[in-house]
Structure formats: C-alpha cells, structure tokens
Structure 1
C-alpha cells in the first residue's frame, strides 16, 4: 500500500488551487471595477448635492480600493502566508519539534502507523491462529486496527484541514470585491472570517501535532508484546487522534470565546451516535427484508391460486 497517497493528493490539490486563483482573478477584478464605478458615482452624487466636505470619504474610499486591489491580486500568496504562519505559531506553542514541511506531510504520520502496528499484525499469526489461539488473534487484530485507524484519523484531519482552507480561500476570492459596497460587504466579511477561522483550526492542529509528533514516531511495541503494552499503545494513539478529531471545536472555542468541552462524555456521545445509527440502519434493512419476503409470498400465492 502506498502510504504517501495523502501527501501526493495534497500536492495535487494545492497545484489546482493555484490555477484556481489565476482563473478567478479576472472575474474578481471585473467585479472590483464594477463596484469602483458605483462608489465613484455615489461620491459624485453626494458632492453634487452639496453634502459638505467629501475629502475624508474620498481618501477612505481610495485607501479601501487600493487595499482590496492588493488583496485580490495577491490572494494566493496571502492565503499561503496565513496558513503557514498560523501553523508555525501552533508548532511554536507546542515546542517547535517539527518543521512546517512535516505539518504539510500527513502521509508520514500514516507511515508511522504502519510501522507501529507491524509487530501487532505479525503476532496475529496466519489463518490457523484463529483456531489455535482465537482470543489472542482476535484481540491483537482488533487493537492493531484501532491503533492504525487512530493514525489514519490524525493524517486525515491534517489533509482535510489544508484542503478545506485552500478550497475556501479560492472560492472566497470572488467575494472580496463585495466589501466596497456597504449593502454587500457582509459577503466579504464572511469570507475573511472563514479564512482566519480555518487558519486557527490549522494552528490548533499544528500545536497538537508538534507536541505529539515524536510520540507518534516512537510508539512501538516489541515483537512479543504483552496485553499491557498493547492496551497502552491503543490508549496513547487514541487520545492523540481524539484531540485532532476535535480540533475544529477547539478552534471554534478560541474564535467565539466559549468554554471548552472536551471530556469523556464526548467520546461516549460519539460512540452512542454511531451505535444508534448502526441500529437504525440494521432495523430498516431488516424491515425492508421482511416486507420483501411477504410481498414475494403474496405474489407466489396469487400465482398458485391461478
């Protein structure tokens, strides 16, 4: 299996995002010119109606137009600077044990998972082990899957956060010109707020990964592990993946100023929701199956009566 697939996809997405900025730039500039004309017309009307000294409003408008023209023209560089700088701030808070290149390489963390779980899956033995020592084989396989899935969750969160940031910022370029016209300025405000919100989410992830990177890399067990070593590894990998999974809620707490709510209840709630969904799905499938059987019996009975 190619464990570097996430980094390859991430590189491809960022390349496409660069082309997306270039493709949307002419449309954004067209909207910008449209709103500039509207603002000039309004300023001319206010001046013609003798609304007083318009020197200050003119200077404010010129400054705003220049600022937004610069933002639109350099949107790609600005977005890269935002996500890189916030990621570096998160790593700095976590001790800066890694570089920004490590943070943009989720496949490395997935590779750590394969390395860490290799001795576990090796101890499950072959197909005959399920008959000779079923408890050990099932337990080792189950714990190995949980640990590997925990590494997957960490890598997925890094990958999805970066992709989400670039997708949002590319699409937000077209909304920046709306900031010039007051009735539509809320669109640009939401775009800017969302950009920094996703950047703060990446900063939280950078903080978590910076703290736990060396731990994730060094998590290992001997070739003949005990249950204590196995469960300790499950606990460590699961705790880090849970923190990464809840990075969006932590970022929302930072932005909104609410109180954090990271407790064991969250895990129980997630497990309960997943269990409930599975039960509902199985019940629905069973009901549909019974209905199909009854319908088939009725059809068969009607055919026999004929």
Structure 2
C-alpha cells in the first residue's frame, strides 16, 4: 500500500512531448535550435574566457558581464540538450527527480540573471550619476557579494518549489506537452488542487523579475535625467552609449519572458504550441544575443575578442612577413621561401 501511494505521489518518469501539434516539424525545428545553442555556447564561452584571461577587463562592469555569461550557459544548457533529444526522437523520457533538477536549475539561472541585470543597471547608474564614487562603491569584494547574493536569492526562491511539487499526487499522469520541465508544467499534471503552486509561482514572478524590472526602470529614469542635464552633446552621446548595450540585453531578456508568462496565465485563446515556443525562446534567445550585443556595442571587448581569436593567425603572418624580408636577397626561389615560412 505504501509503495502504491508513493508511486502515485512521485511517478517514476515523465514523457516530454516537445511541441505538441508540430511533431512533423520537430526535425526542422531542431536545426535552428541546435545552431542557436552552439552560438550560445561559443559566444558566452569566448566572452567568459576573454574576461578571465585579460587583466585589463578585471573591472566591475566586465566581471558582472562574466557572471551574466555563466548564467546564460546554465540557462541554455539546462533546457536545450533535452529539447534536441526530443526533436531528434532520441529520448522523450525524463525521470521525476531529473525533471525537478532541470526545473530547479532553469528557474534558478533565470532569476540569477535577472538579479545580475539589476546589478548592472545600478553599476551604470553610479558610473553616470556619481562617477567620483564609482571606484569606492563598486569594488571587487562588492562584485563578489553581488554574485553570491544572486545565487542565494535564486536558491531561496526556487527551493520551496521542489517540496510544493513533491507533495502533489500525479495519479499516473506522465505526458507533459513541453520540451523541458518547468514549475507549472509539472504542477498541471497533478490530480489535486494546485492553487498554492499557482499563487507561489505568480508571487515569485512579481517579487523577483517583476521587482527587478521596476528597479531597472527607475535607475534608467534617473540615468536619463542626469544625461539630459549634461551641457555637452558629445558627453550625452557617450553616456547613452555606455548604457545602450545593457538596455538591449534587458529588452532581449525580459520581453519574451514576460510575454510567455502573461500568455501562459491569461492568454487562454493562444495555441499551446505558441506557449511552448515562447518558453523555449526566453531560455535560448538571451544566451545567443547577449554576447553578440556586448561584443558589437563595447569597443574594448570587441578588440579583446578579436585579439584572442586572431592572435595565432596574426603571429604566423607577422613571422612569415619577417622571414620573407630577411630571405628576399638570399637567392632562393619564391617557392622555397614560402615552404620555409610554412615550416616556421
């Protein structure tokens, strides 16, 4: 009897169906998903490597950007591999505990990234509105505390959801019309009242990303007010330029996330496959676009990334050119000099 009750409470596994209604397109959908995931891995890994290895980038703004890259890697890697496994018909099954683990790290990285974006907005506010205090406010110890606070906050928000889901009976329901496990997707499989889960999910959304969005908006209002008070037009453009990349990242991160959240709860006429598509976009689109935005918008990062990517090639060509100049009057034919250059 205990075993039966335990089975009803915690099913052995779930079956993820991917995008229900679009099963015939799963193979085609896997192509952009796979390419975007590879781009996210490469972009964030390169950005993280450049910031860690270049001492000139060991500044608060870039250290926060490194934290953002780590959150993006966790966010995309928690969801996309399983989605690709479903699209390629490799494995649709996921154990109950693995499903909870995926749900936990997906939401944890999302809340952590929201916290980091709030810290980056405060960083830009201090840099523009109180530049003389910036060095004393944003020290390396403060940045480390921000990283720890982001993790602690995310953990405290998401840890109760594990127990909220474990207490529910599922009555053998295993089919989940989704490509990865999320809090409400799991809760809706339960054969009991899930009001607590609904209200907790709604409260955590308002109190974490919701509050972050309001505070980021307030910081940008203060930043714009300070910018318009500057007398020089060049100073205004420079101040706006320092915030443009962060503003783009905020729009990329919050727009699909909140659109997915509100359509999931209030858009009852929206097809379910649209919900699933939006849920996949808000965990994949920011990790893909964030490194591109910061690399294109920030001149220093762009130069450092270019130097790291093309350092070997530049060194080879410089050595080759130097050898050609020395060997120009040695009487050797051109082919011999080229082969010797290749060997060097």
Is the structural similarity TM-score above 0.5? no
User: Which of 1 and 2 has greater Rg?
Assistant: 1
Return the TM-score normalized by structure 2. 0.25
Hey, which of these two has a bigger chunk of helix by percent?
1
